[in-house]
A and B are shown apart, each in its own frame.
Chain A
């Protein structure tokens, strides 16, 4: 592996750590007494510093060092968190981000120096403290809380290639206390197959120290991923000096002898308990109780060990995208298999086809769930945005988030960032008033923006609400009339007025600020959301605040669809909005004075002839079907020739050539290789309305 690869890994890791750091810092701002958060900040900084120095980012290490020292003081209760401290820490995060992309950047940019100076001052000139001071044996013996660890350190054979020297690590551990080190060479291959660049030795260190297991682990922090490190407490000096372990136990613990062998050996002798019972020293009951206890402890330990083994895997997202593509293709092929099986009417093949269908569905659901990410990661970005922007505008705003654990498809999350930033900026700039205005209006000085997410059927609802001044409908109307978007004298409902905000080129801000008001806003937001097959809704009460709701599909790649036929063409209607399908006889309804309304169980439902809407020139069959869908709580019927059934719809884009088509949102390949078009019900509905 080359150094570049390591730098790459470091940059990736550091970026994540920085994000975590930023989150913790922002949380810390709200909750300055939380020592847990301080510790988290400290740990993140410590790791960035350590691995930064290791991979040649000395500039980062130098900068972080000064900050870390201050947080160490906070951690030890010698310093309180202050606002400037957090401000500088956040700025430092930004600088480190830049340094990551540009390693040549020196730590002596004016801002970096300012940050360092600030923290050196608060940190009380604390000198770089040596990580581990060697401890003299005498000093050690009088200390309390001594623990003896057995540390098995099996570095990966490639450790030397990574630039780490295992020997130094071993020495560092040994310096933590009283240690006996044995180097074990059982894995050493014979001379012919030795590769001199590899490390075959492993070490076993018996260490008695007053440090905690974590302190010991810290030594290995940079090699722990590649190396096998086992740290066991073998004696914590709590049980007095006389319960020394038997040699069998020690060997067993070390794994040098396995349990069966030992038991076999032990079985040759009588068990100590049985001997005791025989001699009448203890009763059988007492022995059973003791054995149960032993069993219990063992079980608990095993459970604990199992819990610790649960881990996650980091996978590049391209691989996931590819997996989803493959599953998409598999779904198509499976559809074809099922179709052939039905056509051939081969019982055995039908069985296989069904089995494959079940597996493919499961695979699909599973793959989709892998791509689901918690939306919280996006939310935390906005905390910083709100903090910075509100300071810039002299407003006091708190961002409250709910439902950060709501999961949504990765691609949706990625495309959601920009629209959300825009909406939140709008709330900060146009929505929330200045503290003076708020007090004058009888409101709390501090404004609130609530960002929440939750599931609703197969969609995710994201709400952005603020308690600001709301949308001034009169101002919107006036502006729209001035821009010629509405003609004079038209009566508009509230909803229509709010919809004007999404018209291209519309911006209500009197002044253009750096934050918003350039008028390229809301129409782009709406387009982005619609590109995700989502919808956007505004509700606002003047003086009380604004509430914007985004409704987004859980996933973009595969949906459940209802396959319908018109003429000899296939169309797909998203199943999630389909309410019911009913038979429809045109002739029987012609009487109702030309109005296209059908009565279904005492409810009048308007309907649309998809055939004529799509300009398909052929006679409709006598008996047709109406697919009734529900949109925004209203029901509409779509007349089609016939309904085929449900279809796993792998959505394919129609591409740029068809980007202006309003009534079709995509296409899907059917089992027989033909193409079915996905009907954009929402667009048709709003178009006709």
Chain B
């Protein structure tokens, strides 16, 4: 995993932490463009249910992903704290921006390399390929996501349903 080493190469890295249900996740701050309130999402038909839809980000149309649905943790309940984290990453070598739904965004934390460990092989609900590392801190673990793996082309487009058949006369 390229990103595993990317996280661990420096002496420390900054991570934006956010909450999905009861767990705390993090993404490398370098891939985060901005965080915005949840509003005005347009659902796109014939897409997997974890694709919430698209939003208008200053004139650009940006897809939004429900991470909880993606990780099979149930749907994200909309609340005042619900946020969209806009991340920038590479899809097929092209820089792309995507939004990710989070129950709430917490803070930016700096982790020394020494406290970041590889993902455990068992014991998480998540596909380990999605995890760049686990950071220990007093209040528990932060699961640092590998953005490029979570939003890879295969993960996103796997399930475009052939709706035409369902509705054939």
Contact = CB atoms under 8 A, between A and B. Distances in A.
A673 B56 contact: yes
Nearest to B55: A675
Interface stretch (B39-47, B68-76, B105-113, B125-133): B39-47
Nearest to B60: A652
A556 to B, nearest CB: 15
Given A675-B54, A688-B168, A657 B91 contact: yes
B85 to A, nearest CB: 15
Contacts of A569: 42-43
B154 to A, nearest CB: 11
A596 interface: yes
Contacts of B46: 614-615, 661-664
A423 to B, nearest CB: 27
B26 interface: no
A664 to B, nearest CB: 6
A664 B157 contact: no
A676 interface: yes
B88 to A, nearest CB: 12
Interface in A601-625: 609, 612-616
Given A675-B56, A688-B168, A658 B63 contact: yes
B56 A655 contact: no
A660 B46 CA distance: 10
Given A656-B92, A667-B54, A614 B45 contact: yes
A654 B44 contact: yes
Contacts of A661: 44-47, 160
A643 interface: no
Nearest to B65: A657
B61 interface: yes
Nearest to B156: A657
B157 A659 contact: yes
A674 interface: yes
A657 B51 contact: yes
A652 B92 CA distance: 19
A675 B52 CA distance: 13
Interface in B50-102: 51, 53-56, 59-63, 91-92, 94, 96, 98
B44 A688 contact: no
Interface residues of B, number: 32
Contacts of A677: 42, 44-45, 54
Interface string A648-689: 000011111111111110010100011111000000100110
A59 interface: no
A637 to B, nearest CB: 14
A650 to B, nearest CB: 9
B1 interface: no
Contact of B61 (A570, A662, A675): A675
Contacts of B163: 613-615, 663
A interface secondary structure, majority? mixed
B45 A616 contact: yes
B54 A613 contact: no
B66 to A, nearest CB: 13
Contacts of B153: 656-657
Nearest to B41: A675
Contact of B63 (A657, A669, A673, A676): A657
A218 interface: no
A667 B54 CA distance: 9
Contact of A655 (B96, B160, B164): B96
B interface: dominant SS: mixed
B138 interface: no
A329 B58 CA distance: 10
B169 interface: yes
B121 interface: no
Given A615-B163, A667-B61, A658 B56 contact: no
Given A615-B45, A688-B168, A660 B160 contact: yes
Given A596-B169, A652-B61, A688-B164, A669 B56 contact: yes
A669 B59 contact: yes
Interface string A186-226: 00000000000000000000000000000000000000000
A657 B96 CA distance: 9
B137 interface: no
A561 B168 CA distance: 27
A669 B43 CA distance: 14
Contacts of B160: 660-662
A616 B94 CA distance: 32
Nearest to A679: B45
Nearest to A333: B59
B42 A675 contact: yes
A596, A612, A675, A676: which has the most chain B beta carbons within 10 Å?
A675
A654 B45 contact: no
A156 interface: no
A531 B113 CA distance: 45
Interface in A438-462: none
A332 interface: yes
A652 B62 CA distance: 10
Contacts of B40: 673-675
A332 B44 contact: no
Given A615-B45, A677-B42, A657 B59 contact: no
A671 to B, nearest CB: 11
A658 B63 CA distance: 8
Most B C-beta atoms less than 10 A away, residue of A615, A676, A688:
A615
Contacts of A658: 44, 47, 51, 63, 157
Contacts of B43: 569
A612 B40 CA distance: 22
A65 to B, nearest CB: 45
Contact of A674 (B42, B94, B157): B42
A342 B41 CA distance: 24
Contacts of B62: 655
B63 A664 contact: no
Contacts of A655: 61-63, 96
Nearest to B53: A675
B148 to A, nearest CB: 13
A106 B151 CA distance: 50
A657 B98 contact: yes
Given A654-B54, A656-B94, A688-B164, A664 B44 contact: yes
A652 B56 CA distance: 10
11 contacts: A612-B167, A615-B46, A652-B59, A661-B160, A664-B44, A667-B61, A669-B56, A669-B61, A676-B42, A688-B164, A688-B168
Given A569-B42, A613-B163, 7 more contacts: A655-B61, A655-B62, A656-B96, A657-B157, A658-B51, A669-B61, A677-B45
Complex A-B, nearest 10 residue pairs according to Cβ-Cβ distance, in ascending order: A614-B45, A687-B164, A675-B42, A652-B61, A667-B61, A657-B63, A660-B160, A660-B157, A656-B91, A657-B156
